[in-house]
Amino acid sequence: MIFGKIKKFIRKLDRFQLLSIPVLLVLIYFSFDFQKNDINIGVVLPLSKDFSVRAQSHLKGIKLAVRHINELGGINNCKVVLRVKDSDNTDLAESIRDLIYKDKVSLILGGFTSKETRVIQYISEKALVPFITAICTHFETAKSANYTFRTITDDQQQFEALSAHSANRFQSKMPAIIYDSDLYGEESAKRYAEICSKHFQQVAFPFLSYKKGTFNFREQLGNLFKFNQKPDSLVILAPAGDSALIVRQAREMGFDKPILGANQCASSEFIHLAGIFSESIVTTLPYNPRAGGQKFDKFLNEFRATYGYKADSDAATGYEAMMIITLAMKTMTEKNISLRDALASFHVWDSIIGSGGFDSKGNQVRPAEIAIIKEKQAIPISMEELF
Amino acid sequence: MINNPHENRRNHFAITKTVTTVFVTILVLSIILYIIKSTSRKKIDSLQISQYKAFSQNSQDSDKINEKEKITHFSSDSRRQKNISIAFSQLMPTPPVNDIKIDQYKRVWIATEKGVYKIENDELTSFTTENGKFPFAQATCIEFDGKNIWVGGLYGISVYKENGKFVSLTPYFALPSNVVWDILWDGEQLWVATQKGVAFYKSLKIDNILNGVLFSNKTEDNATKVLNSSTTNNGLRSSWCTQIARYYNWLAVTHDNGLSILNLGFPGADPRSWKNIDHAKSSISRPIQDMIFDGKNIWLGTPTGLMMINTSLRDFDSRFSSEMISFSELHGLPSNNIKSMVYHKNTIWLGTDRGLARIRNNQIQTISDLSGKKPEIIRKVAIQGDADNITLLWIGTDFGVQFINTQMAD
C-alpha cells in the first residue's frame, strides 16, 4: 500500500525533480555534523597504588569542575568528557598513545611522579597535544617544552621559599636533606643544595637517600648524629607516607631541630599518618587558601556536598586546572588560535585559589606559600597569628 | 482572476528546474575546483626540488671544505660571519615531522605524526591509514637496511612492501613494548629501541620474519633478545630507550636516565661492559633529543644546550669520564633547545626550536632564510649527498619539510 503510494508519487516527478533528490541528500549530509559534539580531555593519574589518595582527590576536583562546566552548557555548547587512565594499572606510554591517537583528546591533564610526567610530556610534545599538570611539581617539567604547562607552583619556587624561611626564621646554617630516589630523586636534592648556597647555608653532606618500599629510616637518620657536621634542620623531599614515617622516627631518635618538607607534608595523608608528630612541621602550600575568597568557600561547600569531606589542596588544584582549560578553549574559539597558543597567552588569571599565570615557559608564576602545621591543619605563615 | 492549474504546474517545474540546475552546477564546480587545487599543490611541490637544485648549483661558492679540520674548540674569529642568510626551499606541507631518511635510490622518507611521506622524482606521496597504505596512526622513526624500509611508531614496527604499502610486522617481532622510539640497522643486526628496552634481531631472523615466520618465545633460539635494566644488571640505567646508534664497536643508547654505551666486544649482561652518563650525576638535562659522532667525540643535543663528551671514543676503554663540554646561547647558538643534529664533512648541523645553526671551523653560525621568514621549530635535520656534488640538508618542522643547499652556506 505504502510502496504503491511512493511509486505513484515518484511517477509524478519529472527528471529534474528526480535529479534534485540526490543533490539535496548530499547537501543535507554535508550540512549536518553527525559527529558527537564532545570535547575529550585525557586524564592520566596513579589512581590505585602508592599515590592513589592524592591522585583520587585531584581527580575529584577535576570531575567537580567538569560537572559545573557541563551544567552551564559545556564549552562552546560542547559537552566535556573525561577519558581517565590509571597509570598504575595500564602501560603508561600505550595509554597516552591511545588517548592521543584513538580518543583524539584535545588535551592531557595529570602526571604525578616526575617519570610519569616525563612520559606524558615526551609523547604529547611530539604529537603537539597540550599537556597540563596541576600536581607534579618536579622542577624539570615545563622548563623547555612548548606544549607543556603547569598550574601548580614548582619545586624550584618551593625550595627557594623553604630555604629562605629556614635561614631567616631558624637561622639554619646547615640543613640535612633526605630524599626518595623515585618521586624527587637525587637531582631535586642537588637543586635544593644549590638554592641553599644562595642563603649562605651549607648542606650537610652526604645527602640521605632511600629506595621505594623502605619503612625503617633509622639507618639513614642515624647519620644526622654520626657526623661532625651537626645539621641544624632537616629537609624531607619524599612522598607523604614516607615523610610521615621519617618525621616520626627522627623525633623518636631525639632530633629536636626544625623539620621542613615540600608540599607533600601539606597533604591530609601526611598529617593523618604523622599524627601528633606533624605539629610544627614547616611545609609549602601551592596556594594561600584565603586568596580565593568567597569563590574558594563556595568550592569547599560544593566539594563537601558532593563527596562528603573537606577538599584538600590536590582537589583545589585539579578544579583550578580544569577551569583554566575551559577558559583556554573559549579563548581558542573567540580568537581563532590554537589551544596551545590560548594557554600560552594566560599570563594572569583569577581562580578559586587566587591569582596565577603562566610564565613564558608555561610554568606557574604564583609564589609558594610557607605554612606551618598546627592542630592538624597547614596554616600559612602569614595567617599564623590568627590561630 | 482564475488560477490556471496547468500554468501553475509549469511555473512550479520552472522553479524546480532552476534550483536543481544551480545545485548541480555548484556541486560540479566544487568538485572540479577541489581536484584542480589538489593537483596544482602537488605540482608546485614537485617543481621545487629540481628548480632549487639548478639555482643553487649556479650560486655555489668555490670555498673548499677543509677535510682535515676537526672541531675541537671554538674561536672568536670575528672575520667569519656569525649569521648566514641563504635561500630555503619552499615548504612541502606534511604533518609534524619525526624522522627523515634518504635511501640509496635518493628517495626521501619522512616519518610524521600522521604516517609516512615519500619524495621521489620530485613527487610527494603519502602513506597513511586514511589511504590504506600505512598500518598505524603515527610514525616515529625510519631505517633503511639496504633492502627494506623499516618504520617504527607508537603502535609497533612496519616494513615497506613492493606493492607500495607498508605492512605491520609487530606480531612477528615480539617486541618488549610496541612503543618504538628508534630503529638501527648496523649491517648485521636490526636494533629496536622501545619503551621497555632494546630488542635486537640477526639478519637471518629478519629474513624469516619477512617470510612470514611467526616466532614464539618458547625456545631460547626464538626468544627476542632484549637489553634492559634487568637483563644488563643495571648496566643500561633505564629501559625507556629513545635513541640508538652504533659507533665502531660501541652501541650508544639514550634513555630516561641519560646515556649508556656498551662495548659490543663484551657481554651486555655484565654491567662493567657499559659506560654511563647519569642525568642526576652530570650536567646533562633530560631528555637527550639527539646524538651524533664527529669521528672523535660523541655530541648530545639536550633542551638546555649542546654537550660534547670530553673523552674521545677511542679512549673510552682506558679513561672514560662523564665530563662534558657544554655550548649554549652564550656561545652563539640560536637556542639552547637542540632538537636534532647531523654531522657531515666536518660540520655539525643543528636544528633548534629557534631555527638552524652549524658548527664549522670552530665557529657557531646561525643559518636564516633569505626571505626573512621567522625561524620555525626544527624537529629533524638530515643530510642528502647528491651525485651532482650538491649536498642538501633536509629540515623537518611542525608543518612540513624543506631543504637548503649546504654549499650555499659556504
Helix axes A52-71, A313-335, angle to 10 degrees: 40
Looking at residue B280, its pLDDT comes to: 78
Among the partner residues B23, B195, B242, nearest to A20 by beta-carbon distance: B23
Q: In this structure, how many other beta carbons lie within 10 angstroms of the beta carbon of residue B333?
A: 21
Binary contact (A127, B113; C-beta < 8 A): yes
Band the pLDDT of B67: cuts 50, 70, 90: very low
Pairing of strands B274-278, B123-127: unpaired
Burial class (CB in 10 A: 0-12, 13-18, 19+), A150: buried
Among the partner residues A97, A128, A145, nearest to B154 by beta-carbon distance: A97
Binary contact (A127, B195; C-beta < 8 A): no
Interatomic CA distance for residues B367 and B128, integer angstroms: 33
Distance from CA of B76 to the nearest CA of A (A): 28
Binary contact (A128, B398; C-beta < 8 A): yes
Binary contact (B154, A24; C-beta < 8 A): no
In a domain, B376, yes or no: no
Do the domains at A38-153+291-356 and A156-285+371-386 have one common CATH topology? yes
Interatomic CA distance for residues A22 and B111, integer angstroms: 40
Looking at residue A385, its pLDDT comes to: 57
- Please count the residue pairs, one from chain A and one from chain B, whose beta carbons lie less than 8 angstroms apart: 76
Looking at residue A195, its pLDDT comes to: 94
In a domain, B176, yes or no: no
Looking at residue B6, its pLDDT comes to: 61
* Angle, CA of B363, B366 and B369, to the nearest 5°: 150
Strand, coil or helix: B192: strand
Which neighbouring-strand residues pair with A45?
A: A86
- In the chain, the amino acid numbered A377 is Q
Task: Give alpha helix (H) positions in A107-184.
Answer: 114-127, 155-169
Position A64 pLDDT exceeds 70: yes
Band the pLDDT of B66: cuts 50, 70, 90: very low
Best residue of A18, A24, A90, A101 to probe chain B, by most B CBs closer than 10 Å: A101
**Chain A residues with CB-CB distance to B256 below 8 A:** 115, 118
Helix axes A240-252, A218-226, angle to 10 degrees: 50
Binary contact (A93, B280; C-beta < 8 A): no
Per-residue burial over B233-260, b if 16 or more Cβ lie within 10 Å, else e, is: eebbbbbbbbbbbbeeebbbbbbbbbbb
Distance from CA of A23 to the nearest CA of B (A): 7
Interatomic CA distance for residues B186 and B198, integer angstroms: 14
Query: How much of chain B, in percent, has pLDDT values that exceed 90?
Result: 59
Looking at residue A336, its pLDDT comes to: 94
**Chain B residues with CB-CB distance to A143 below 8 A:** 303-304
* Angle, CA of B79, B83 and B84, to the nearest 5°: 100
Cα(first)–Cα(last) distance of chain B, in Å?
A: 90
In a domain, B23, yes or no: yes
Higher pLDDT, B360 or B11: B360
Please state, in angstroms and as integers, the Cα–Cα distance from residue A18 to each residue in A9, A25, A252, following that order: 11, 12, 91
Interatomic CA distance for residues A263 and A368, integer angstroms: 9
Q: How many domains does chain B have?
A: 1
Looking at residue A221, its pLDDT comes to: 86
Do A132 and A151 form a contact (C-beta atoms < 8 A)?
yes
Per-residue burial over B285-295, b if 16 or more Cβ lie within 10 Å, else e, is: bbbbbbbbbbe
Looking at residue A228, its pLDDT comes to: 62
DSSP type of residue A162:
H
Supply the DSSP string of B45-60, one letter for each residue. Answer: HHHHHHHHHHHHHHT-
Peptide bond into B287 cis (omega under 30): yes
Higher pLDDT, A324 or B5: A324
Q: Which of A29-33, A288-292, B179-183, B208-212 holds the top average pLDDT?
A: B179-183
Position B78 pLDDT exceeds 50: no
Band the pLDDT of B371: cuts 50, 70, 90: confident
Please state, in angstroms and as integers, the Cα–Cα distance from residue A195 to each residue in A155, B39, B282, following that order: 11, 60, 18
Superfamily (CATH) of domain A156-285+371-386: Response regulator (3.40.50.2300)
Strand, coil or helix: B99: strand
Looking at residue B303, its pLDDT comes to: 93
Interatomic CA distance for residues A383 and B374, integer angstroms: 49
Distance from CA of A16 to the nearest CA of B (A): 6
Best residue of B196, B240, B242, B277 to probe chain A, by most A CBs closer than 10 Å: B240
Q: What residues contact residue B380 under an 8 Å CB cut-off, 6+ apart? A: B97, B98, B99, B100, B339, B340, B351, B394, B395, B396
Burial class (CB in 10 A: 0-12, 13-18, 19+), B122: middle
Best residue of A97, A99, A187 to probe chain B, by most B CBs closer than 10 Å: A97
Which residues from B are below 8 Å from A when comparing CB atoms? 13, 16-17, 19-21, 23-24, 27, 96, 98, 113, 137-138, 140, 154-155, 177-179, 195, 240, 242, 256, 279-281, 285-287, 303-304, 336-337, 353, 377, 398
- Could you tell me if residue A73 is left (phi over 0), alpha (psi between -120 and 50 degrees) or otherwise beta? left
Please state, in angstroms and as integers, the Cα–Cα distance from residue B365 to each residue in A18, A219, A282, B390, following that order: 69, 54, 50, 20
**Chain A residues with CB-CB distance to B19 below 8 A:** 20
Among the partner residues B24, B140, B337, nearest to A144 by beta-carbon distance: B337
Cell numbers standing for residue B233? 644488571
Binary contact (A186, B287; C-beta < 8 A): no
Looking at residue B122, its pLDDT comes to: 85
Cell numbers standing for residue A98? 591511545
Distance from CA of B393 to the nearest CA of A (A): 22
Best residue of B94, B113, B128 to probe chain A, by most A CBs closer than 10 Å: B113
Task: State which residue of chain A sits closest to B23, comparing Cα positions.
Answer: A23
Domain ranges of chain A: 2-27, 38-153+291-356, 156-285+371-386
Interatomic CA distance for residues B82 and B360, integer angstroms: 11
Looking at residue B97, its pLDDT comes to: 97
Distance from CA of A94 to the nearest CA of B (A): 7
Express each pLDDT in A290-328 by its tens digit: 788 899 999 999 999 999 998 988 999 999 999 999 999
Question: H or E stretch including A218?
Answer: helix A218-226
Express each pLDDT in A182-237 by its tens digit: 888 888 899 999 999 999 999 887 788 888 888 999 888 887 777 666 889 999 99
Distance from CA of B303 to the nearest CA of A (A): 6
Band the pLDDT of B73: cuts 50, 70, 90: very low
> How far does CA B252 lie from the centroid of its chain?
18
Binary contact (B96, A26; C-beta < 8 A): no
Q: What is the mean pLDDT of residues B142-168?
A: 93
Pairing of strands A131-133, A107-110: parallel
Do B124 and B117 form a contact (C-beta atoms < 8 A)?
yes
Average pLDDT taken over every residue of chain B: 84
Among the partner residues B23, B137, B279, nearest to A27 by beta-carbon distance: B23
Binary contact (A187, B279; C-beta < 8 A): yes
Task: State which residue of chain A sits closest to B257, comparing Cα positions.
Answer: A115
**Chain B residues with CB-CB distance to A94 below 8 A:** 154, 177-179
Binary contact (A144, B304; C-beta < 8 A): yes
DSSP type of residue B87:
P
* Angle, CA of A141, A145 and A146, to the nearest 5°: 135
**Chain A residues with CB-CB distance to B353 below 8 A:** 146
In a domain, B109, yes or no: no
Among the partner residues A20, A93, A187, nearest to B195 by beta-carbon distance: A93
**Chain B residues with CB-CB distance to A24 below 8 A:** 23
- Could you tell me if residue B405 is left (phi over 0), alpha (psi between -120 and 50 degrees) or otherwise beta? beta
Looking at residue B57, its pLDDT comes to: 47
Interatomic CA distance for residues B410 and B408, integer angstroms: 5
Binary contact (A127, B240; C-beta < 8 A): no
Position B214 pLDDT exceeds 80: no
Looking at residue A376, its pLDDT comes to: 86
Which residues from A are below 8 Å from B when comparing CB atoms? 14, 16-17, 19-20, 23-24, 26-27, 91, 93-94, 97, 101-102, 115, 118-119, 122-123, 126-128, 140, 143-146, 185-187, 190
**CATH class of the domain at A38-153+291-356:** alpha beta
Do B341 and B381 form a contact (C-beta atoms < 8 A)?
yes
Looking at residue B10, its pLDDT comes to: 67
Average pLDDT taken over every residue of chain A: 89
Q: Classify the complex by whether its ipTM is higher than 0.85, answering yes or no.
A: no
Looking at residue B58, its pLDDT comes to: 46
- Maximum pairwise Cα distance, chain A: 106
Burial class (CB in 10 A: 0-12, 13-18, 19+), A103: middle
Higher pLDDT, B72 or B6: B6
Helix axes A185-198, A155-169, angle to 10 degrees: 40
**Chain B residues with CB-CB distance to A190 below 8 A:** 280
Higher pLDDT, A144 or A167: A167
Query: Nearest 5°: phi and psi at B86?
Result: -135, 170
Express each pLDDT in A259-299 by its tens digit: 999 888 988 889 999 999 999 999 998 888 778 889 999 99
Domain carrying residue B37: 1-58
Looking at residue A268, its pLDDT comes to: 85
Among the partner residues A115, A144, A186, nearest to B256 by beta-carbon distance: A115
Do A121 and A110 form a contact (C-beta atoms < 8 A)?
no
Task: State which residue of chain B sits closest to A19, comparing Cα positions.
Answer: B20
Position B368 pLDDT exceeds 80: yes
Query: Nearest 5°: phi and psi at B82?
Result: -95, -25
- Taking alpha carbons only, the member of A90, A88, A84, A93 closest to residue A49 is A88
Express each pLDDT in B235-254 by its tens digit: 999 999 999 999 999 999 99
Distance from CA of A387 to the nearest CA of B (A): 41
DSSP type of residue A153:
-
In a domain, B336, yes or no: no
Binary contact (B154, A190; C-beta < 8 A): no
**Chain B residues with CB-CB distance to A361 below 8 A:** none
> How far does CA A385 lie from the centroid of its chain?
30
Per-residue burial over A25-41, b if 16 or more Cβ lie within 10 Å, else e, is: eeeeeeeeeeeeeebbb
Express each pLDDT in A88-112 by its tens digit: 988 999 999 999 999 999 999 999 9
Looking at residue A129, its pLDDT comes to: 97
Interatomic CA distance for residues B153 and B110, integer angstroms: 12
Please state, in angstroms and as integers, the Cα–Cα distance from residue B41 to each residue in A328, B128, B164, B381, following that order: 34, 18, 22, 24
